[in-house]
Each structure stands twice: as C-alpha cells, then as structure tokens.
C-alpha cells in the first residue's frame, strides 16, 4: 500500500510568521506533527510519502503514485483542505480526512471517502484492518480519549528539516480548565493525559539522530496541565539534555499559574525552555469571569508575567477583545497592559465562536450565532452578534493592532522583555555561521535599508548592541517577527 500524507496550506496570518521566515531562510515554522504521528501508526510494510503544501507544491504525480491519501487540517486550513480532497477524488483516489477541523465541524465535513473524528490511536488500527478486508466505513469516531502510551514516535524521516524553523513534539493532551471559548477541552478533554518520560526522550533521540539542532516546540495546549507528571519529566529531560550536549532549546504553552511554581520555573529554565505562550486574554476581570477563565482572576497578571520572565522565559501572550462585558475603553486598557507586560509577541484576536465550544452553544441558544468561523481570529471578521456595536468593535480592534505593532511600541516591548531576563542569554540555538550571516545580512537589508521604518530599527539596533549584547541574536529574531506582524497588520487594517 502506498500512502500519501498531505498537509494543506496555512494562510498568511499572524501565526504563519511567513515574512519573518523569509528573512531566516525557512518556509514554515513547524512540520505537520499530526501527519508525522499518523505515519508512525501505519504498517511498516506500507510505503509513505508526505507533502507539506506550506513548503512544497502538491503535484499530480504525487497523487498518481498513491493508493490512498491522508489529509489533516485545522479550521483555518479548511479551504485548502477542500481543494485537496476534490483534486484527489477527481483523480479517482481514495482520501481519508481527519484533524481538528473535521473533529469539530460535523456539519461542514469535506467530501472525503473516510472521515476520522477525534484522536486516532484506537480508530486508525481499526480502519487499517477494515481496509485490508475491503469493509472500510465512511466514519470512524473515537468513543473515548485514548491513553498516549501507544502513540508512536513521529516519522521525522518524511520531512526535509531544512525547511522549518523548529521541530515539534507532543507530551500531553487536554487541559484542566474550562475556558468558554476554547475548543481544546472539547477535543481532548479536561483530564490531561501524558506520554511517559521514556516516550518523550525517544522522540528527542529521533530528532537528534535525524540531525536536528535548535528549537523544539512542545505543542501541548497546556504543558503544565498535569503538574505531577511534568515535575517527573523535567529532571529526566535535564539529564538527557546534559548527557547529549544540550542539542535543543524548548518553547511551549502553559497557563498563568506557572508563575506560582518556582520549582517548576527553575527546572524549565535549567532544561532550556526559552519561550512560553500564555492565554492572558484580557485585563478586565468581569470578562475573564464570563469566559470561565477563573485561573486568571486569582493572581495579579502583570506580576505573574514578570515572574515568569525573570526565569529567562520570554512570554508570548494571547489576548482577546469582544467579550460581552468589555468596557468602552477596552482597547486602551489592552494597549496599556501589553505595553507594561513587556510581551513582544502579543497575539490579539477578536472573540470567535469555535464549533462545539461552550461559547458556541451559549450564543446559539441566545440567537446571536451568525456563521461558522474562518478559523482566523485576526482577520476582523465576526461570526456572532457582539454586545458592543460591531463597527466600534472592529474599528477599536484595528486601532489596537496598529498601536501594538507600530515599530516604536514593538521595539520598546522587546527591550523591556530582554531587560527582565535576569539570567543572561535568552536567545534560541543558532544553526551555523553561514546560515546566521545570510540571515543577518538579509535582515539588515530588509529592516535597515528597504523598510520605511528603518530609522526606528537602527535606534533599536543601537540599544540592542549597547544594553543587551548577550541577547543580540534573539533580539534580531524578534525584530524580524515584528516586521512580519506589521505587514500582516497593514493587510488586515487597510
């Protein structure tokens, strides 16, 4: 059996980092871990090939080669997913679809031959058995959330690592909290399940043996959701890293209560964690309560952020406007909070009702749900009727974006962030001198010569060299990210 695994196009958004990646000489931030994991579940005798459409073109020859095609996508990739499914079926090939979009959008399913809803650890073996007997069904739905002990090491041999800025692995699924707008707890549940220490270290061995050196993204939606197991993992991870010459640095996602656990923070710093994404959402307590984000109301958010930053962890923050209880001055309050927080990578979106979430169900009951979401909460679209006047909400949101990604504001936040790291170098691992020099000169040409905001860049460059020489490389990486954010802002707010 010949299997083609296809990852659809991820559109140009804040999350694509496309303009920053061009400077770095990369094509995508991360490989499609979902499909690499699925590939690891397939019978060893099956031939497999992967096409990530974000780094290479899907050719008709690829589809002609295959006996069956597997596709997986998030909501934001749905248009590309549908195009891939239609193309594959028009060529007379069988296509299998799964992933977050398919699992949460039962009324908008692509026209695939076989649909997988939920996690595939138990249903994929069943499908393979049925396929070999010629009795494969249209739908395969996981009846329970599987333990991760049988999840295989992803098949990293299917990708060209040179195309990516970082590699990705997964340690856990699920989150103990119940945020109203979040679909993670609907897909993966509220009881975090983890892999064993041995499993995670085996995946790191596979990455190291494949030649990867650099950043590794642990893609858990809440890495500390199961604190007990994480506390057991980190000492083993630290021992592995030291024994193997510290080949990787790590980034991940977590909840704000990380700030209260100094032992955990110290372990993460020792292991080499350099960035953590936090769902901060809003400084307005009423809106946090409405969104069931109680964990963010039990602590001072700015103090918590500073505490995490003090352990050399750069904070990347998620923010939302459009809650029913947002006051008229929400945009100014968000601007001020983001400035004071020193969070360079502040990802601000309009509230979006994702399928099958608590928010989706509440708005549907209230008659305020308009349409399915685009999956991109930064494109200024709304799929529900907000309490605030829609035009006022969108206009305020655009003003907020223009402010936080203006060169002066952005560079100021970067310098604030770097000044709060009390433990020196907070940058990522470098690749090699030739690649670094190529990226450096491309960045200087792009931001220091071509860019209309070049004067602001050179002022920032001077301060970076003078006050943060040990963070110089990472400071330039953040400058490239800011350039990307500014271009996307201009696109969405024009």
Kindly state the DSSP code that residue 251 receives in the 8-state scheme. Answer: E
* Mean pLDDT, range 338-358, rounded to an integer: 96
Cβ-Cβ contacts under 8 Å for 65 (sequence gap 6 or more): 2, 4, 49
135/190 same-domain check: no
Q: Which domain holds residue 64?
A: 2-141
Tell me which of 359, 375, 404 is where a domain ends.
404
Whether 311 is in a domain gets the answer yes
* Statement: residue 374 has pLDDT above 50: yes
91/220 same-domain check: no
**Got the DSSP string for 78-132?**
HHHHHHHHHHHHHTT-EEEEESHHHHH-GGG----SEEEES--TTHHHHHHHHHH
Determine the distance from the C-alpha atom of residue 132 to the mean position of all C-alpha atoms in its chain, rounded to a whole number.
Answer: 36
| Weakest-pLDDT range from 97-106, 247-256, 407-416 | 97-106
Q: Give the pLDDT mean for 214-224.
A: 97
As for how many domains the chain has, the answer is 2
| Residue 223 belongs to some domain of the structure | yes
For residue 290, being part of any structural domain is answered with: yes
Residue where a domain stops, chosen among 404, 427, 450: 404
Residues 104 and 196 in one domain: no
* 333 shares its domain with 296: yes
On whether both 185 and 227 belong to a single domain, the answer is: yes
Pairing of strands 193-194, 172-173: antiparallel
Query: In whole angstroms, how large is the CA radius of gyration of the chain?
Result: 22
In a domain, 428, yes or no: no
Residues 230 and 331 both lie in one domain: yes
Provide the CATH number for the domain around residue 267.
3.20.20.70
Residues 229 and 352 in one domain: yes
Q: Is the confidence at residue 184, as pLDDT, over 50?
A: yes
Is 314 part of a structural domain of the chain?
yes
Is there a domain that residue 433 lies in? no
* 346 strand-pairing partners: 317
Output the domain CATH number for residue 78: 3.40.50.280
At 347, the pLDDT band (50, 70, 90 cuts) reads very high
- Both 284 and 332 in a single domain? yes
DSSP string, 466-490: HH-GGGHHHHHHHHHHHHHHHHHHH
Q: What is the mean pLDDT of residues 51-55?
A: 98
pLDDT, tens only, 273-284:
999 999 999 999
Shared domain check, 397 and 355: yes
Q: Which position has the token pair 């103990």? A: 176
Q: Are residues 133 and 179 in the same domain?
A: no
Please name every residue paired with 173 in a beta bridge, in sequence order, or none if there are none. 193
Strand 314-321 vs strand 167-169: parallel, antiparallel, or unpaired?
unpaired
The answer on pLDDT for 43 being more than 80 is yes
For residues 146 and 125, give the distance between their C-alpha atoms in angstroms, rounded to a whole number. Answer: 13
Question: Which of 89, 108, 141 finishes a domain?
Answer: 141
Q: What is the pLDDT of residues 65-112, one digit of tens each?
A: 999 999 999 999 999 999 999 999 999 999 999 999 999 886 778 899
- 219 and 258 in a single domain? The answer is yes
| Per-residue pLDDT at 426 | 43
Q: What is the pLDDT of residue 431?
A: 55
In terms of domains, do 94 and 225 share one? no
Task: Identify the pLDDT of residue 471.
Answer: 93
Q: Would you say residue 493 lies in a domain?
A: no
Q: Is residue 150 part of a domain?
A: no
């Amino acid at each position: 059996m010949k299997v083609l695994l296809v990852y659809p196009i991820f559109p140009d958004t804040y999350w694509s980092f496309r303009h920053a990646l061009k400077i770095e000489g990369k094509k995508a931030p991360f490989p499609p871990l979902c499909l690499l994991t699925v590939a690891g579940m397939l019978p060893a005798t099956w031939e497999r090939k992967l096409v990530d459409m974000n780094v290479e073109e899907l050719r008709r020859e690829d589809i002609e080669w295959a006996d069956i095609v597997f596709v997986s996508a998030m909501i934001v990739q749905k248009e590309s997913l549908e195009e891939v499914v239609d193309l594959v079926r028009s060529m007379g090939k069988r296509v299998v679809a799964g992933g977050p979009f398919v699992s949460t959008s039962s009324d908008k399913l692509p026209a695939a031959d076989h649909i997988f809803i939920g996690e595939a650890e138990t249903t994929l073996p069943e499908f393979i058995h049925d396929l070999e007997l010629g009795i494969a069904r249209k739908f395969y739905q996981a009846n329970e959330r599987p333990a991760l002990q049988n999840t295989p090491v992803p098949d990293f041999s299917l990708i060209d690592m040179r195309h990516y800025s970082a590699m990705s692995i997964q340690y856990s699924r699920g989150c103990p909290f119940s945020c109203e707008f979040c679909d993670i707890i609907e897909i993966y549940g509220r009881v975090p399940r983890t892999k064993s220490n041995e499993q995670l270290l085996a995946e790191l061995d596979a990455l190291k043996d494949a030649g990867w050196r650099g950043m590794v993204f642990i893609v858990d939606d809440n890495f500390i959701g199961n604190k007990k197991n994480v506390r057991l993992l980190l000492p083993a991870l630290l021992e592995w890293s030291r024994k193997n010459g510290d080949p990787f640095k790590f980034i991940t996602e977590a909840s704000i209560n990380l700030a209260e656990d100094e032992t955990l923070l110290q372990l993460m710093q020792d292991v080499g964690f350099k960035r953590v994404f936090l769902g901060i959402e809003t400084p307005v307590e009423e809106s946090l309560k409405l969104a069931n984000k109680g964990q963010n109301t039990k602590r001072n958010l700015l103090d918590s952020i500073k505490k995490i930053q003090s352990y050399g962890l750069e904070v990347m923050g998620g923010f939302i406007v459009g809650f029913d209880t947002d006051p008229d001055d929400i945009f100014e309050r968000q601007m001020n909070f983001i400035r004071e927080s020193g969070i360079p990578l502040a990802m601000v979106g309009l509230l979006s009702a994702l399928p099958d979430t608590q928010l989706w169900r509440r708005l549907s009951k209230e008659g305020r749900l308009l349409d399915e979401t685009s999956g991109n909460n930064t494109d200024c679209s709304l799929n529900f009727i907000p309490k605030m006047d829609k035009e006022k909400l969108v206009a305020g949101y655009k003003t907020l974006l223009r402010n936080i990604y203006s060169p002066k504001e952005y560079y100021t936040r970067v310098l604030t962030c770097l000044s709060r790291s009390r433990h020196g170098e907070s940058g990522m691992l470098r690749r090699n001198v030739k690649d670094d020099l190529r990226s450096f000169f491309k960045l200087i040409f792009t931001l220091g010569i071509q860019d209309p905001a070049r004067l602001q860049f050179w002022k920032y460059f001077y301060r970076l060299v003078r006050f943060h020489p040990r963070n110089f490389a990472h400071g330039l990486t953040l400058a490239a990210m800011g350039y990307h954010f500014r271009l996307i802002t201009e696109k969405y707010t024009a």
